[in-house]
Amino acid sequence: MNFWDYLGSRHQQLLADAYQHASAVLQCMVVATVLGVAIGVLTYRSDWAGTLATTATTTLLTIPSLAMIGLLIPVVGLGVPPTVIALTLYGLLPIVRNAIVGLRGVDPSLVDAATGIGMSRPARLVRVELPLAWPPILTGIRVSTQMLMGIAAIAAYASGPGLGNEIFRGIASLGSRNALNQVLAGTLGIIVLALLFDAAYVVVGRLTVPRGIRV
């Protein structure tokens, strides 16, 4: 069976796996974004706190994904829980780092002006600093998403959702007539999803970043 025939015969399962893969990445990115920006907000004013946050999230990223999921299985079991936890942790570094860099890069004169017109510290953060730091934060989100697209495939090791199941089935049946088709279908599916997500982020950037501060 050639590759195109395989796609035609398995398109429903592949679409279901692709939906689960995209859904898992999207949900984990939402959680990672909230946590990452919160960590950035809490640490950007202090050099040591910012360094600690960046170092901690960098350390998490150095743990091999297969090892991370393997360590989580005895704690939270198989399936979705280890996938969500692992992807969320791996997604933190670019967001935390870019949030800290973005917030520290805000022009102090703009913050002083906001203070001068009576804005409270929370109001300055929400209405001045975070909007100006949004472009680098969005860049961090884009980088995290591209990483998680590939890492999510490893979730199949823990019976997690997504296109990784297709890849692992192909690897497990090497030598069979559809083994290469399975690996190729899963891999190409992840690449397509990554490109679609990145295109969506470009649109989000166009809609949310004022023209004057676009990079």
Contacts of 150 (CB under 8 A, 6+ apart): 190, 194
- Rounded Cα gap, residues 106 and 132, in angstroms: 6
User: Tokens for 147?
Assistant: 């990483």
DSSP per position, 31-85: HHHHHHHHHHHHHTT-HHHHHHHHHHHHHHHHS-HHHHHHHHHHHH-SSHHHHHH
Distances 117 to 14, 45, 111, 124, 207 between C-alpha atoms, Å: 56, 22, 10, 10, 28
Q: What is the pTM of this model?
A: 0.88
CATH 3.30.70.330 fits 11-210, yes or no: no
| Res. 138: pLDDT tops 70 | yes
- CA–CA distance, 56 with 186 (Å, rounded to integer): 32
Determine the average pLDDT of the residues in 75-89. Answer: 87
86-123 pLDDT, tens digit per residue, is 999 999 999 999 999 999 998 888 888 888 888 888 88
Domain boundaries, the chain: 11-210
Q: In the predicted model, is pLDDT for residue 55 greater than 80?
A: yes
The pLDDT tens digits for 173-202 are 877 888 888 999 999 999 999 999 999 999
